[in-house]
Structure 1
Amino acid sequence: METQTIRKIFTRDFILCFLAQFTFTFVFFNLIPTLPIYLSRLGSTEVEIGVLIGISAASSLVLRPFVGRALLKIPEKTFMIAGLLLVAFTSAAYLLAPPFWPFLIVRIFQGIGFALFSTASFTLIANISSKAHLGQSLGYFTLSFTLSGALAPPLGMFLINHFSFPILFLACSGLSLCSLLIIHPLGRRQVAPLQDSFTEDGLLFSRGALPPSILGFFPFFIWGALTAFFPLYAIHHGVTNPGFFFSTTAVVLILSRSLGGKILDLHNREKVILPCLMAYIISMVILAFSKTMPMFILVAVIYGIGPAFLTPALLAYALDRGGATGPTMGTFHAITDLGISLGPVIM
């Protein structure tokens, strides 16, 4: 039975989309610990760094509802290609864009690229997955983020410590183009005819998906603040490679989902969500008193338990309530992007 379930989940298109998302997300995680350092070395203030890091998610959240609505009529692959090309271009454009305003413009367009690709990729996975195994499918798919999160941050730090920031930015551009090659054989899924119940209100947002999306705002707010300021905080306390914090979090995510992926479909969504929120709270309390690498690793272990099940559980819960997949994904990612963008600015 388990083998049959795995075969139903890991189809050809699922694997291609997973590999493309992994390569694409590698760009995002390469930049997480490195961009704040880059901007700091160029003389940006903490406020400017917060704005420049957060603006990417802000531009992404504005576009996602429109992308979600458009996915009711346009195949996902079209948006994935557009997103990859945009991120490849903007990654290279960092070489020519000093802070503040030129860099801000590049970050805005890169956020648009992230919105195009990731909204379409999640929509594709939700559409090709069996409803009976939706939570498990989303859990496995989000491992693409986790794996890249484990490998990319320390690699990004290695590139800037042993080479230079231009090498980092060119590598990010190259990774985006590699992802483009991966999705080339991906089939263009036929868009199903719209049902009246999906379009009767004509809204960009899916009203049914709002409660789980709003709940997801808060942990993503924490994530946004961590990505912007933890690298600087860790370096201030003598840590040479803050990327290991994110890598530890990713390893915990991988182990948790690998060992407990079926939990997402066997138990009520609420029973999964509440313990995960407690992991966020406990880890942030400990982080407030942490100043050494062993303590940072402890925080990463506890923190990693939270998103291991919370993110796919909230996604599945949103899809359970939201109806049409495109608008539901657009709604969920727009609101969680709002959390990511406000985290660095407010904190």
Structure 2
Amino acid sequence: MSNQEQHLKLWTRAFICLTICSFLLFLNLQMLLSSFPAYVKDKFLAGDLTVSLVTSVFAISAIATRFLTAVLIRKVHRHIILFIGLAIATIFTAIYVWADSIGSLLLMRVGYGIGFGMVSTIIPTFVSQIIPGNRLGEGIGYFGLSTSLAMSMGPMIGLNVTKHFGFGSLAMIGTVTVLFIFPVILLSRSIPPGLKKQAAAGGVPSPKQPFNKKLLFPALLNVCLSVTYSGLLSFIALFGESVHLAQVGLFFLFNAFTIIIIRPISGKLFDSKGHAAVLIPAAISVFTSLLILSYATSMPMLILSALLYGLGFGAIQPTIQAWMLRTTPKEQHGMANSMFYNSTDLGVAVGALMLGAISSASGYGMMYRYSSLFMILFLVVYVFVEFFNVRKQAEIPNVPTM
């Protein structure tokens, strides 16, 4: 097979459309999520712990929904689940502005989490079925670029729209963003080959797959990374106010710049050298970024922190996802994707609550220093487990072949 044929096989219309859908979904999420802390503080006079609940209840509901979706897809056609999830996410995005209390807003966040959890399970499962096996790291790298770009551009857009036009305008933009997913999905005209038989049978399930314990280790690493991201998402706007950085939203712009650069490189590096070549330097980059951010009082320091965080975050996330997919057969890709996104949301939920408590007691600078320690934990756990695995492999005797 020629390189050109491989390229065409990866960059199909279905792959491109599903990648765009993922970008729009996460853009909607990140635009609103980044603006909720300041909005909730201003409208409901809430403290940092209450603000962190807005992030945490969404993440918890998304996690629970993904487990239910994993059961549901064995009984219901996946496209039906996808469109129901999109409809739920659209409705709850549109009605955020009607919340008149913390309680009602939290209920809406739970509803949105349900819709988001359904869609964010189905789309990556479709994508993982259509990426050529020998280009899995590269394909997930490009697909994951949609998520990372949304995670970088969304907060910047959300903070600026809220600042100049108000939260109501942002909710309307978010609603339109989700609505755009419907025609793009239809444009893809795609049911991945491995799912055509199931679709023709009306969604009749394959036998239930046993849980793959190999997913737990990379999922734990992703939790550590996601804790650090929750601190940025939930509190960087408030941090900017505390140190008088008016354009703190630029963090996400420069973060996006290095993510765009590193994503394709890290995917190819994973395919050729394995995850260690990517994860160790990337984790050091994230740690350094958060340490610089914790002391930032000027735009150059903020920009340097953003560039380093983008390099690390943009390399780690797709590598972990590709690693999880590579350790599972195709029929378990739904499980692997669910574990990946659940570990992301778990890290965001735990991080929002934990870092919210730290910021209330010690301030935002100290909070980011504590947040950086999760990348030290990341490195220690990773190196220890990999060293143990290498020793275990070395102890297996070579059995001569006859």
The normalised TM-score by structure 1 is 0.92
Higher relative contact order (CA 8 A, sep 6+): 1
What aligned pairs does 1:142-153 form with structure 2 within 5 A after superposition? 142-153=144-155
What aligned pairs does 1:27-42 form with structure 2 within 5 A after superposition? 27-42=28-43
Taking the aligned partners of 1:110 and 1:292, their CA distance within structure 2 comes to 36
CA contact (8 A) 1:69 1:326 kept: no
What aligned pairs does 1:237-252 form with structure 2 within 5 A after superposition? 237-252=243-258
CA contact (8 A) 2:160 2:249 kept: no
Q: How much has 1:292 moved relative to structure 2?
A: 2.1
Taking the aligned partners of 1:15 and 1:344, their CA distance within structure 2 comes to 33
Question: In the alignment, does 2:338 pair up with 1:330?
Answer: yes
CA contact (8 A) 1:84 1:176 kept: yes
Query: Which residue is equivalent to 2:300?
Result: 294
Give runs of ≥4 in structure 1 deviating > 4 Å. 72-75, 191-196
Any gaps of 5 or more consecutive residues in structure 2? 199-203, 356-402
Query: Which residue is equivalent to 2:352?
Result: 344
Query: Which residue is equivalent to 2:395?
Result: none
- Report the AA paired with residue 233 of structure 2: T
- Report the AA paired with residue 220 of structure 1: S
Query: Which residue is equivalent to 2:394?
Result: none
Q: How much has 1:145 moved relative to structure 2?
A: 1.9
CA contact (8 A) 1:146 1:251 kept: no
Q: How much has 1:83 moved relative to structure 2?
A: 2.1
CA contact (8 A) 2:63 2:346 kept: yes
Query: Which residue is equivalent to 1:168?
Result: 170
CA contact (8 A) 2:245 2:297 kept: no
Q: CA separation of 1:231/1:2 partners in 2, compared to 1, >3 Å: closer, same or farther?
A: farther
Partner of 1:34: helix, strand, or coil? helix
CA contact (8 A) 2:138 2:264 kept: no
What aligned pairs does 1:191-340 form with structure 2 within 5 A after superposition? 199=209, 201=210, 205-323=211-329, 324-340=332-348
Q: CA separation of 1:287/1:271 partners in 2, compared to 1, >3 Å: closer, same or farther?
A: same
Cα offsets for 1:19-46 (capped at 9, x unmatched): 1112222211211331111111111111
Taking the aligned partners of 2:245 and 2:156, their CA distance within structure 1 comes to 12
Taking the aligned partners of 1:152 and 1:195, their CA distance within structure 2 comes to 37
CA contact (8 A) 2:223 2:344 kept: yes
Query: Which residue is equivalent to 1:188?
Result: 191
Q: How much has 1:260 moved relative to structure 2?
A: 4.8
Taking the aligned partners of 1:169 and 1:54, their CA distance within structure 2 comes to 19
Which of 167, 178, 181 is equivalent to 1:179?
A: 181
Greater CA drift, 252-261 or 104-113: 252-261
Q: How much has 1:228 moved relative to structure 2?
A: 0.5
What aligned pairs does 1:13-92 form with structure 2 within 5 A after superposition? 13-42=14-43, 43-72=45-74, 74-92=76-94
Any gaps of 5 or more consecutive residues in structure 1? none
CA contact (8 A) 2:256 2:310 kept: yes
Q: Rg larger in 1 or in 2? A: 2
